[in-house]
Chains A and B, each alone.
Chain A
Amino acid sequence: MSIQVHLDRLLAERGMTLTELADRVGVTVVNLSILKNGRARAIRFSTLTALCEALDCQPGDLLSHRPG
C-alpha cells in the first residue's frame, strides 16, 4: 500500500506501548496492530482524532503517502 503508517516511530518517540495507546484511544490492540502493520483498508476520522490527541501529533505525522 502506498499509504505508510508511522505508528511504530511515534510510539517509540513517546515511550508508549501499543496496549497503553489502545487504552487511551479506546481501540482494541488487535485493530491498532492491524493499523501499525499496514493491513488496515481504511481509518475512521474518530480513530484518527483519538490517535492524534493521544500521541499529540498531526495526521501527517501518523500517515504519509509514498508515490508508486
Chain B
Amino acid sequence: MTVARDPLQPLTGIVRLLWSVTTVLSLTAITLVTVASYGTSVCFTSQVGTELIRTVPHGEVGYVSAGSLRVCLSEPSGWERVLYLVDVALPMVSYAVLFLLLMGLLERGAVEGVHTVATADRLRRLGWFTLVAVPVATLGEAAARILVLAEVRPETDLTSLTAEWDVPWWAVVSGLGLLALGKIMRTSAEMRADLEGTV
C-alpha cells in the first residue's frame, strides 16, 4: 500500500519546527521575567534619548557616539515588570502565533485540499494577523520602552514613540500579499467547486 505524499512537505515540517522554537522561547521569556528574575533589576534598550549620552572627544579622530540608550531599573515596580515582559516577550509571542496560524494553514490544507474555500479563509486570517498583529506587537514593544524611558527622561512624548517604533514593513507587505493571495485562492476554490459540479 502506498502512503499519499504530503505535497506541502517539507514546508510544514520547517514551520512546525519554527513554531516549536518560538513557543519555547516565548514561554521561557515569560517564565524568566515573571518568576526567575523577580527581585532583580530589569534593563530596557531604547533608540530614543541617545542625546543624553554626550559625545566624548576621542583623540584627534573625532567623537564616539552611542546608537542606543540602556535604562536599568534596580527595583522595578509591578507595572515596570509588566512593561519589561511586553518588551521581551510580545514580539516573540506574535511570531509564535504567526507560525501557529501558518502551521494550521499547511496541515489543514494537506488534509482538506489546497484549493478549498476553508484554506483560502485560513490564508486570509494569516494575512490579517501579519498585517495587523505583528506591527501592533512591535508598537506595544516600543510603547513599553517609551513608558519606562518617560520616567527617567520627562521630555519623552508621543513623537518619541514614532521614533522608537521600528515599523515591520515586511509584515505590512507580506500581509497585503497574503490577503491578495487569499482572495485569488478563494476565487480559484469557487471555480474548482463549479468544475466539480459540472456534469
- Cβ-Cβ contact count across A and B, 8 Å cutoff: 24
- Chain B residue numbers with a CB within 8 Å of A35 are 199
B198 contacts across to A, CB distance below 8 A: 40-44
Q: Kindly provide the distance from the CB of B184 to the nearest chain A CB, expressed in whole angstroms.
A: 20
Partner of A27, one of B193, B196, B197, B199: B199
Give complex CA distance A35, B198 in Å.
Answer: 9
Interface size range on B against A:
under 10
Report Cα–Cα, A39/B196, bound state, in Å. 11
Indicate if A34 sits at the interface (CB-CB under 8 A): yes
Per the bound structure, the CA–CA distance linking A34 and B197 in Å amounts to 8
Q: Is B194 an interface residue (CB 8 A)?
A: yes
Chain B residue numbers with a CB within 8 Å of A31 are 199
Residues in A whose Cβ lies below 8 Å from that of B197? 34, 39-42
Name which residue of chain A comes closest to B198, CB basis: A42
- A40's nearest neighbour on chain B, judged by CB, is B199
> Which residues of chain B (169-199) have a CB below 8 Å from chain A?
193-194, 196-199
Residues of B within 8 A of A44 (CB): 198-199
Chain B hits for A47, CB < 8 A? 199
B159 to chain A, nearest CB (A): 57
Q: For A34, give the chain B residue with the smallest CB separation.
A: B199
> Which residue on chain A has the smallest CB distance to residue B194?
A41
Question: Which residues of chain B from 21 to 55 have any CB-CB distance to chain A below 8 Å in the complex?
Answer: none
User: What are the residues of chain B within 8 A of A55 when measuring CB–CB?
Assistant: none
Q: In the complex, how many angstroms separate the beta carbon of B115 from the nearest chain A beta carbon?
A: 16
Q: How far is the CB of A15 from chain B (nearest CB, A)?
A: 23
What's the nearest-Cβ distance from chain B to residue A11, in Å? 15
Could you list which residues of chain B lie within 8 angstroms of chain A, going by C-beta atoms?
A: 193-194, 196-199
Name the 7 nearest CB pairs between A and B, nearest first. A41-B197, A42-B198, A40-B199, A35-B199, A31-B199, A43-B199, A41-B194
* Residue contacts A-B, CB under 8 angstroms, 13 given: A27-B199, A31-B199, A32-B199, A34-B197, A39-B197, A40-B197, A40-B198, A41-B194, A41-B197, A42-B198, A43-B199, A44-B198, A44-B199
